[in-house]
Amino acid sequence: MTLRLGDTAPDFEQDSSIGKIRFHEWAGDSWVVLFSHPADFTPVCTTELGLTAKLQPEFEKRNVKAIALSVDPADKHRDWIRDIEETQQTVVGFPIIADADRSVSTLYDMIHPEASLTATVRSLFVIDPAKKVRLTITYPMSTGRNFDEVLRVIDALQLTDGYTVATPGNWKDGDDVIIPLTVQDPAVIEQKYPKGFTSPRPYLRLTPQPNK
């Protein structure tokens, strides 16, 4: 199964480092970052999980829950968490799915046969409170993920959900945003973008971020 943007993230029930999880119930009304790892006790994954743990306050500010996945069993996850906490000097406050039967990995198309027949690639999904897939990123197993980019995209998604704007390349929270081409009525523009806008081209209209 290939998940596309806008698809409903499949529900599942699976063991984890904190016990059995039913995914949609666990997610509740939060945004979710679901990300997979090739195996426990691997060096790149250890740094990624440590970084995610350190970013927990940033995720909480954005109403985001993190949940990891590996095809190893739950008891091995719990041993690995102790290693992560010791080597990365943090506390892992999120679960790791124990996908020993690879059912979730298959459901989310995390195993790419040309990369590995048994291990997941570094897939990451951002899922909104309506359980819709809003972002997918897949890295090769040798390359660690950029979680600053994950936070940046979540900021952009939450901003554009709340306001009629788009974000330019390399946008960061606080930068100017774009008035979409779908908005053309001058009265609507004045009402929606009271801070005004600059327009270096008729199709390119920049306005200050509306919630700043």
Q: Are 72 and 39 in contact (CB under 8 A)?
A: yes
Query: What is the share, in percent, of the chain residues with pLDDT greater than 70?
Result: 95
Q: Would 5 be classed as within a structural domain?
A: no
Regarding whether 180 and 123 lie in a shared domain, the answer is: no
Task: Please count the structural domains in the chain.
Answer: 2
Q: How confident is the model at residue 117 (pLDDT cuts 50, 70, 90)?
A: very low
Task: Please determine, for residue 119, whether its predicted confidence score (pLDDT) is greater than 60.
Answer: no
Q: Is 29 left (phi over 0), alpha (psi -120 to 50) or beta?
A: alpha
Looking at residue 122, what is its pLDDT? Answer: 79
Question: Residue 105: inside a domain, yes or no?
Answer: yes
Query: Is 2 part of any domain?
Result: no
Are residues 49 and 87 part of one domain?
yes
pLDDT the model gives residue 139: 87
Whether residue 100 is found in the same domain as residue 131: yes
Q: How far is Cα 195 from Cα 176, in angstroms, rounded to an integer?
A: 11
Q: Is residue 4 part of a domain?
A: no
Confidence of residue 22 (pLDDT cuts 50, 70, 90): very high
Give yes or no: residues 33 and 110 share one domain. yes
Question: What is the average pLDDT score of the chain?
Answer: 93
CATH number of the domain encompassing residue 55: 3.40.30.10
The rounded percent of the chain whose pLDDT value lies above 90 is: 84
Give catalytic status of residue 45 as yes or no.
Answer: yes
Strand pairing partners for 198? 206
Provide the residue range defining the domain that includes 73: 13-144
> What DSSP line would sit under 82-112, residue for residue?
HHHHHHHTS---S-EEE-TT-HHHHHTT---
Residues 50 and 136 in one domain: yes
Partners of 97 in beta bridges: 16, 69
Residue 7 half-sphere exposure toward CB, CA atoms < 13 A: 13
- Residues 94 and 45: their CA atoms lie apart, in Å, by 15
Q: What is the pLDDT of residues 121-141, one digit of tens each?
A: 679 999 999 999 999 998 887
Amino acid at 171: W
Residue tagged active-site, from 45, 150, 151, 179: 45
Q: Residue 2: is it exposed, middle or buried by C-beta count within 10 angstroms (0-12/13-18/19+)? A: exposed
pLDDT at 120 exceeding the cut of 80? no
